[in-house]
Amino acid sequence: MIYLLLTPKFSKVYTIAMTRQQNIPIILLLFLFILNIFFAFPLFAEDTLTITTYYPSPYGVYRELRAKRIAIGDDYIDGASYTWQDTESGSGEVDYTADLVVEGNVGIGTVNPGAKLDVTGASGAANNILMHTDTGYNNIEFIRGGTSQSQIYVDSSGNMNLRPYSSGTWPYSLVVAQGGNVGIGTGSPGVSLDVAGGLRAGSKDAVTSCGLGQINGEGAQRYNYTTHNMEYCNGTSWVSPGGDTASLGTRGYTKLPSGLIIQWGTVSAITFSANNGGTFGTVTFPISFPSGVFSVVATLTAAYPGGSYIWYDHSVKVGSITQSSFVIWVAAPNNGGYSGTYGANWIATGY
């Protein structure tokens, strides 16, 4: 049995029943039906025919479904509240260029999407998101409160860029070039790590592990905020590559990468008297030289009675040099019978 419902300007319902035993009446009824439509509808009249199907009700399963544009969501299905723009500048809540708008989360490979887009691959299978372009670059941009914050994009040369938005520009922050070089602050890294700007290493509190082998920290670098020195792990302990310069006053030392150690200091009072008489003083180095001493050189400072000059044939002498100390005194062969006190500055080198 077939039911046909039409709703033209003159509302009518036509019901046609057909069985195998009623072939002739059916032909007659069809002929009368066609005549009725011809005379009942005014010429050039427009009517809308709406067909609603539910199979199986109220859901549908289709092998193929095509649409020019789709809005999905509990609110978006309200066509009166969410109308599509007819033109780029036309009125409407949904942008003219949009073909698909979704109100909630979208799951690909999952029935429990935990975010606006949740892509889940099968166990052990590749889980890829592909972005294609023939020219230009692919771009993912992050926006907060209507303002661009940062972007990830691959430029036309194939370099991956991470750049923040700053005062109307996109300065280079992190670039991974196709060849594998990494640039920070530069878009064209020329070496494995190319930094255009300052570089700060971790503090001693944040980087503490030091042991033999790369996996245990050997070769790592850090800044020690206690001693105010750069340090590196030599496989055993943290050492300073440029020397331990914790004391930079009138008495101190430094260790150079070559192993050379330079130490310095002052002696405030060396007394002298007639005929080379005077006091022999022992000076202890700030640190002991681990292997040996190259030299110790001292010079007098003006402190002769009156404090304004050094007697012409007076000099300072050093001797009895060890890895931890030396002896200092004043040679005064002609002092006119005077006695007095000098000061001295000294510098020693060793390893």
Whether 259 and 336 map to the same domain: the answer is yes
Whether 258 and 344 map to the same domain: the answer is yes
In a domain, 133, yes or no: no
Whether 87 and 108 map to the same domain: the answer is yes
Q: CA 163, 164, 168: angle at the middle one, nearest 5? A: 110
Residues of the chain falling short of pLDDT 50: 1-24, 41, 43-46
Q: Quote the number of domains for the chain.
A: 5
At 12 the pLDDT is: 40
In a domain, 247, yes or no: no
Whether 260 and 236 map to the same domain: the answer is no
At 21 the pLDDT is: 43
Q: Which of 205, 210, 155 is nearest to 177 (CA)?
A: 155
Q: Which of 169, 171, 170, 196 is nearest to 182 (CA)?
A: 196
104: tokens are 């909630």
Whether 323 and 295 map to the same domain: the answer is yes
In a domain, 343, yes or no: yes
At 309 the pLDDT is: 64
130: tokens are 């592909």
The reported pTM is: 0.41
Q: Which of 256, 262, 220 is nearest to 237 (CA)?
A: 220
Whether 263 and 307 map to the same domain: the answer is yes
Is the distance from CB of 218 to CB of 235 less than 8 angstroms?
Answer: yes
Parent domain of 9: 2-40
In a domain, 307, yes or no: yes
Where in 185-287 does DSSP place strands (E)?
A: 193-195, 221-224, 229-233, 238-239, 252-255, 261-273, 277-278, 281-284
Distance CA 322, CA 263 (A): 14
In a domain, 48, yes or no: no
Whether 19 and 90 map to the same domain: the answer is no
At 325 the pLDDT is: 92
Whether 184 and 258 map to the same domain: the answer is no
In a domain, 132, yes or no: no
Whether 334 and 262 map to the same domain: the answer is yes
In a domain, 215, yes or no: yes
Whether 172 and 110 map to the same domain: the answer is no
Q: What is the CATH number of the domain that holds 264?
A: 2.60.40.3940
Whether 144 and 231 map to the same domain: the answer is no
Whether 344 and 278 map to the same domain: the answer is yes
Please say whether the dihedral angle defined by the alpha carbons of residues 131, 134, 137 and 143, taken in this order, is positive or negative. negative
In a domain, 9, yes or no: yes
Is the distance from CB of 295 to CB of 351 less than 8 angstroms?
Answer: no
Digit-coded pLDDT (tens) for 206-234? 677 888 887 788 888 888 777 777 788 88
3-class SS shares of the chain: helix, strand, coil, % to 5: 5, 35, 60
The secondary element (H helix, E strand) that includes residue 36 is: helix 23-40
